[in-house]
């Protein structure tokens, strides 16, 4: 047996001019579906042998593993929800009752960012790690990174977050070179590393990528657009798919922006936008089965242009921390079923997370949508806002409180006009009533290593 450690896939450099990283990305859907069903049966057999968690869960639902032969049969099975995962982790630390591989086979652990509670700790065997690298490499390739490129690492490198080590490993796997500073290294160090190494690409969270560009003249004495960056690869929070935020990033850097989407429970990334910039493709159909749940009817609905709902995921080939019909909390819209790039996976845009969504007098409101409206009003605002959800749960019959920083060149004596303008825009665009408070620029902490938290649970002490 060859036990040599390999950081780079053996044929990575030869893929630079390929149309996609893997042929499955461009395969006809009937071929993809046949492959998925074959791997689904194999995954059910693996869980039948190795997962007490799913053995108990399926038995309680009155379903046998052997009953699951087709993708449609998945609908016989119950969902796996985040609260179950948290309870499982608490009952049997560190990887939970749902661990389905021996501890001796586990070579790596990862963690979620923990923005909605305690982090989820995920176990990976060696095949699981290779699967993660492969899925992420497909995303980076679709986003425009090529073997041989250098990429500035502007996600957090700390706290076990999947934007850290897995990003570095996946870039190495595909033959690219990670510049491993990380958002934790600070803006000054990141920008100086950028000026020294002149990478073609940056990977990071959209708000932080904007902040980096805005600080470049102060720290480097030059605009970000003079640094030679050609690709901005963003994810981890809403923004990359919001036109006003994307336009801001591209204008500041003089570079093309593409977004990606993933989740710790399934992998670092498995949705990715191509050069068409018309939505993110599912590029890992051989590793993940996707379903679309209509949260209002509770029914699974077809993937077709215009469909909206919550993403449900079933992992294929996963050993240590398998997931079956996992409710991701990602609320998406299907933008198309074909693309000029030749990829056949549905194209989506993530609107927000169902656990972030607020219901204001019966109207569903995503924080990312409020952020988009506020950013459209730059330079009257500087694009920074917070929502004050000072009520129990996610529902209110009151007026939603929103705090917005005025633009840096705007006088405070015009705040009443700006307040009225923002309230009107929010009412017209999102059909809810807001009570807007205008505050000075730099009231809130600038984007950094952590994801931007748009929602506060109590009104802050303001200067």
Read off the pTM: 0.85
Residues 259 and 302 in one domain: yes
305 and 398 share one domain: no
Residue 5: per-residue pLDDT? 59
Domain boundary among 354, 386, 412: 354
Give the model's pLDDT for residue 113: 62
Q: Confirm whether 201 is domain-assigned.
A: yes
Assess whether 16 and 139 both reside in one domain. yes
3-state class (DSSP) for residue 307: coil
Q: What is the mean pLDDT of the chain?
A: 91
Higher pLDDT, 397 or 434: 434
Question: Would you place residue 1 in the very low, low, confident or very high pLDDT band (cuts 50, 70, 90)?
Answer: very low
How buried is residue 441: exposed, middle or buried, by Cβ count under 10 Å (0-12/13-18/19+)?
A: middle
Containing domain of residue 439, as a range? 358-456
462 inside domain: no
Task: Dig out the tokens for 143 from the structure.
Answer: 């986003």
User: Could you tell me the CATH number of the domain that includes residue 285?
Assistant: 3.40.50.12780
State mean pLDDT over 449-459: 77
Residues 349 and 397 in one domain: no
Q: Is 461 domain-assigned?
A: no
- Quick one: pLDDT at residue 4? 55
**How close are the terminal C-alpha atoms of the chain, in Å?**
65
Is residue 73 included in any domain, yes or no? yes
Residue 463 maps to a domain: no
Distance CA 162, CA 160 (A): 6
State how many domains the chain has. 2
Mean pLDDT of 103-114: 87
Residue 333 reports pLDDT greater than 90: yes
376 and 264 housed in the same domain: no
| In a shared domain, residues 316 and 377 | no
Average of per-residue pLDDT across 282-289 = 97
List, in sequence order, every residue forming a beta bridge with 259; answer none if it has no partner: 234
In this structure, is residue 278 part of a structural domain? yes
- Co-location of 366 and 342 in the same domain: no
Residue 228 region by backbone torsions, left for phi larger than 0, else alpha for psi between -120 and 50, else beta? left
b/e string for 258-292 if b means 16 or more Cβ within 10 A? bbbbbbbbbbbbbbbbbeeeebbbbbbbbbbbbbb
Looking at the structure, tell me whether residues 329 and 381 fall in a common domain. no
Domain boundary among 331, 354, 377: 354
**What are the distances in angstroms from CA 347 to CA 59, 196, 271, 272, 312?**
36, 37, 9, 9, 16
pLDDT tens per residue, range 410-445: 899 999 999 999 999 998 888 888 999 999 998 988
68, 240, 275 from 336: Cα distances, Å? 29, 18, 15
Band of residue 451 on the pLDDT scale cut at 50, 70, 90: low
Is 317 found in the same domain as 434?
Answer: no
The per-residue pLDDT for range 170-203, each reduced to its tens digit, is 999 999 999 999 988 899 999 999 999 999 999 9
**Which two structure tokens, joined as six digits, stand for 295?**
């949260």
The residue out of 338, 354, 370 marking a domain boundary is 354
**Same domain, yes or no: 230 and 363:** no
Residue 315, strand partner residues: 288
Is the domain of 192 the same as that of 259? Answer: yes
Q: What is the CATH number of the domain that holds 421?
A: 3.30.300.30
Percent of the chain at pLDDT > 90 equals 72
**More confident position, 297 or 39:** 39
Mean pLDDT of 43-72: 96
| 98/244 same-domain check | yes
More confident of the two residues 2 and 150 = 150
**Percent residues over pLDDT 70 in the chain:** 96
Query: Given a cut of 50, is residue 278 above it in pLDDT?
Result: yes
What is the pLDDT at residue 449?
Answer: 53
**What's the average model confidence in pLDDT over 109-129?**
81
In-domain check, residue 329: yes
């Amino acid at each position: 047996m060859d036990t040599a450690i390999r950081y780079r896939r053996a044929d990575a450099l030869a893929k630079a001019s390929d149309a996609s990283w893997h042929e499955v990305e461009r395969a006809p859907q009937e071929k993809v579906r046949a492959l998925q069903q074959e791997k689904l049966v194999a995954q059910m057999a693996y869980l039948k042998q190795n997962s007490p968690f799913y053995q108990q869960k399926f038995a309680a639902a009155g379903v046998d593993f052997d009953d699951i032969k087709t993708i449609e049969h998945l609908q016989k099975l119950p969902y796996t929800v985040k609260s179950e995962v948290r309870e499982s982790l608490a009952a049997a630390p560190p990887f939970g009752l749902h661990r389905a591989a021996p501890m001796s086979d586990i070579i790596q652990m990862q963690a979620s960012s923990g923005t909605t509670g305690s982090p989820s700790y995920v176990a990976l065997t060696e095949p699981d790690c290779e699967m993660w690298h492969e899925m992420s490499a497909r995303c980076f390739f679709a986003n425009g990174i090529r073997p041989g490129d250098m990429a500035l690492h502007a996600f957090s490198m700390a706290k076990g977050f999947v934007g850290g080590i897995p990003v570095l490993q996946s870039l190495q796997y595909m033959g690219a070179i990670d510049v491993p500073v990380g958002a934790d290294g600070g803006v000054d160090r990141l920008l100086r590393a950028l000026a020294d190494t002149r990478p073609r690409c940056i990977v990071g969270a959209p708000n932080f990528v904007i902040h980096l560009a805005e600080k470049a003249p102060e720290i480097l004495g030059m605009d970000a657009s003079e640094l030679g960056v050609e690709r901005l690869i963003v994810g981890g929070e809403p923004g990359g798919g919001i036109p006003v935020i994307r336009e801001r990033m591209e204008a500041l850097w003089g570079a093309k922006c593409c977004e990606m989407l993933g989740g710790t429970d399934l992998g670092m990334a498995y949705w990715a936008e191509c050069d068409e910039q018309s939505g993110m493709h599912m590029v890992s159909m051989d590793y993940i089965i996707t379903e679309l749940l209509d949260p209002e009817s509770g029914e699974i609905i077809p993937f077709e242009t215009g469909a909206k709902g919550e993403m449900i995921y079933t992992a294929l080939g996963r050993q240590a921390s398998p997931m079956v019909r996992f409710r991701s909390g990602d609320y998406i819209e299907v933008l198309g079923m074909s693309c000029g790039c030749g990829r056949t996976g549905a194209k989506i845009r993530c609107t927000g997370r169902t656990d972030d969504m607020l219901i204001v007098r019966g109207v569903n409101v995503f924080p990312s949508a409020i952020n988009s409206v506020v950013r459209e009003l730059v330079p009257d605002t500087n694009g920074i806002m917070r929502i004050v959800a000072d009520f129990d749960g996610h529902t209110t019959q009151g007026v939603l409180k929103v705090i917005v920083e005025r633009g840096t060149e705007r006088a405070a004596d015009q705040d009443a006009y700006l307040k009225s303008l923002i309230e009107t825009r929010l009412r017209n665009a999102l059909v809810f009533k807001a009570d807007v408070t205008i505050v000075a620029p730099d009231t809130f902490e600038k984007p950094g290593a952590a994801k931007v938290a748009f929602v506060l649970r109590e009104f802050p002490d303001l200067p």
